[in-house]
């Protein structure tokens, strides 16, 4: 799918789901990394992450487009277009747009911690699991203010 096909798809979804035309530009942005798409407030354009189409398919792409069109139409109408606004939540439910996009398979592998470090309080025995090392000279137990010591480090996969 190229940018022209994406533009046509966004225009079609806008008319079918919202009953309103999309009068700006929609295109793929290869630099997007952590999000499926974004609506630009200044230009009213919509940018889409191509990886979501490639890795998760057409249905996921349509969901992302509906989500961004919710921002678009509400902002154009001067209504609440932010995620926390009631107008936005009602419109999302009405058009059955996802609140969040699914995580990319390539990112879920990186998200798993490679190790877990277990600390224990010397006084009360409270256990703490951390992904990163902490300075035991600086931090104390949140329960009794006792000294912490590193018990073990568990390596994963």
Residues designated catalytic: 68
Q: Does residue 104 contact residue 117 with C-beta atoms inside 8 Å?
A: no
DSSP characters for the chain? --HHHHHHHHHHHIIIIISS---S-EEE-TT--S-SEEE-TTT--EEE-HHHHHHH-HHHHHHHHHHHHHHHHHHHTTS--STT-HHHHHHHHHHT--SSPPPPHHHHHHHS-SEEEEEEETTT--EEEESS---TTT-B-TTT-PBEEEEEEEE--
The Cα 132–Cα 5 span in angstroms is: 45
């Amino acid at each position: 799918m190229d940018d022209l096909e994406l533009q046509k798809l966004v225009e079609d979804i806008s008319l079918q789901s919202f009953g309103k035309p999309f009068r700006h530009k929609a295109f793929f942005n290869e630099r997007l990394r952590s999000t499926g798409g974004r609506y630009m407030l200044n230009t009213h354009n919509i940018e889409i992450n191509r990886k979501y189409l490639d890795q998760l398919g057409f249905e996921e792409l349509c969901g992302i487009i509906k989500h961004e069109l919710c921002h678009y139409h509400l902002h154009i109408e001067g209504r609440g277009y932010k995620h926390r606004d009631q107008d936005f939540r009602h419109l999302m439910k009405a058009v059955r747009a996802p609140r969040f996009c699914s995580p990319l398979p390539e990112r879920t592998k990186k998200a798993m911690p490679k190790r877990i470090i277990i600390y224990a309080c010397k006084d009360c025995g409270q256990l703490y699991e951390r992904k990163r090392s902490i300075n035991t000279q600086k931090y104390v137990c949140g329960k009794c203010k006792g000294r912490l010591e590193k018990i073990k480090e568990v390596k994963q996969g």
